[in-house]
Structure 1
Amino acid sequence: MIDTESMATGFHAELPPWVWPFLDDYEAPLTSSAERMALVHALADRNWVAGNGGPFAAVVADTFTGEIVSVGVNVVLSSGLSSAHAEVTAISLAQAAVGSWDLAAVRPGLELVVNWRPCAMCFGAFLWSGVQKLVVAGDGPELEELTGFDEGPVVADWAEQLEQRGITVEQDVLREGAIATYTAYGQGRALVYNARRG
């Protein structure tokens, strides 16, 4: 007989309580990619210092109006869930807000703004979310070099793969802000929870 007494039947992740007061300092709507990325950088800077997870944040926004639909930060450490990356958190909260796993079916024209290209896991999560545009601060080896994180087997043509599926990609938005965050994180000797082992 399988021992079901010790098995979990659900899991939970939530944004840290500092996020809502933090957002009060921003005037809505955020009408440009740069404005939305500046918010992402500020959230990422605050998140790792607060100890919730890595130096990563994301927002789901309406590309045309600048409305912020959801906010996500990496909560791997505070939730104990390895999948609780900023992108997954932001996408999941947007899906909960609109009541559908397919965002485009209910709310077309949404974009995900995140402070680096998606890792191997988040690439898949984004691909099937219904988000129709991805805005990233950068792409390249700097993230792993500065932080020690293992981003997994990200394919070289990741942006082209998204474009082939009708998803627009905008790159290098406030790239230096992401580099500054990762540099501070790496020098801060914070816990890297998925560093390469062996």
Structure 2
Amino acid sequence: MIDIAREFRVSLPAWIDDELADVPALIPAREDRMRLVHRLADRNWREGNGGPFAALVAERDTGRIVSVGVNVVLASGVSIAHAEVLALGLAQTATGGWDLGGAGLPVHELVVNWRPCVQCYGATLWSGVRALVVAGEGPELEEITTFDEGPLGSDWAAQFEARGIEVVGDVLREEALTVFRNYRKAVDAGGVDVYNARGGAE
């Protein structure tokens, strides 16, 4: 019999509890929801869990926080363990199903500190969320952090909109860039690993 791994686990780091201790269950303003995302993203890379990325799922109209996620690629050793994947998966666990847009559910939105990479683009598209809120888009993320976000088409937002997913951009954009710049300083100082998977491969 072939000896194969049968499961893998990704989970939020323990420090999340400290960060959420003073956070109310309802955060009505999108800007305040994004502030929480930036706060989690900044602490995440400093704790060594993964890159400077965080996300949350909220009920759009009430602001009730359903889940949060941070990038735990380094902590888990699993390349797909991005912030959006954790936030969406935990929200689906909390609501009891794979479709966050299912009948009887409130409208859910995903809040992220930059436009999703190609992996998280697909995860968001099929999650059932009805809105995507991003701090920004454009080349700055890759230029600052050196991460490869993948070949996402220029019509990425239009594709969401065509599927009934509202896209809201430029929510606290400069705050996102500040987190990325602080991360890059640490990378240049030799204290942080950038985990582009291909490494030196052709």
TM-score relative to the length of structure 2: 0.94
Q: CA RMSD in A?
A: 1.2
Work out which of the residue numbers 105, 108, 111 in structure 1 matches 2:102: 105
**How far apart in 2 are the matches of 1:74 and 1:131?**
20
Matching residue of 1:129: 127
The AA in structure 1 aligned to 2:133 is: V
Q: Any idea what SS the aligned residue of 1:72 has?
A: strand
Runs of 4+ residues over 4 Å off in structure 1: 195-198
The AA in structure 1 aligned to 2:98 is: W
8 Å CA contact 1:40, 1:113 repeated in 2: yes
Matching residue of 1:176: 174
**How far apart in 1 are the matches of 2:80 and 2:70?**
12
**How far apart in 2 are the matches of 1:8 and 1:195?**
21
The AA in structure 2 aligned to 1:95 is: Q
Unaligned runs of 5+ in 2: none
**How far apart in 1 are the matches of 2:75 and 2:198?**
21
Matching residue of 1:165: 163
Work out which of the residue numbers 20, 27, 31 in structure 1 matches 2:28: 31
8 Å CA contact 1:44, 1:57 repeated in 2: yes
Q: Any idea what SS the aligned residue of 1:60 has?
A: strand
Give the C-alpha shift of residue 21 in structure 1: 1.7
From the superposition, tell whether residues 195 and 174 of structure 1 become closer, same or farther in structure 2 (CA, over 3 Å). Answer: farther
Does 21-30 or 48-57 show the bigger shift?
A: 21-30
Give the number of aligned pairs. 195
- Please give the residue correspondences for 1:1-198 in structure 2 after superposition, counting only pairs within 5 Å: 3-5=1-3, 7-105=4-102, 107-189=105-187, 190-194=192-196, 197-198=199-200
Q: Any idea what SS the aligned residue of 2:133 has?
A: strand
The AA in structure 2 aligned to 1:37 is: M
The AA in structure 2 aligned to 1:135 is: V
Give the C-alpha shift of residue 197 in structure 1: 4.3
TM-score relative to the length of structure 1: 0.95
Percentage of matched positions with identical amino acids: 59
Q: Any idea what SS the aligned residue of 1:192 has?
A: coil
Unaligned runs of 5+ in 1: none
The AA in structure 2 aligned to 1:53 is: G
Q: Any idea what SS the aligned residue of 1:97 has?
A: helix
**How far apart in 2 are the matches of 1:37 and 1:24?**
17
**How far apart in 2 are the matches of 1:181 and 1:79?**
22
**How far apart in 1 are the matches of 2:29 and 2:184?**
29
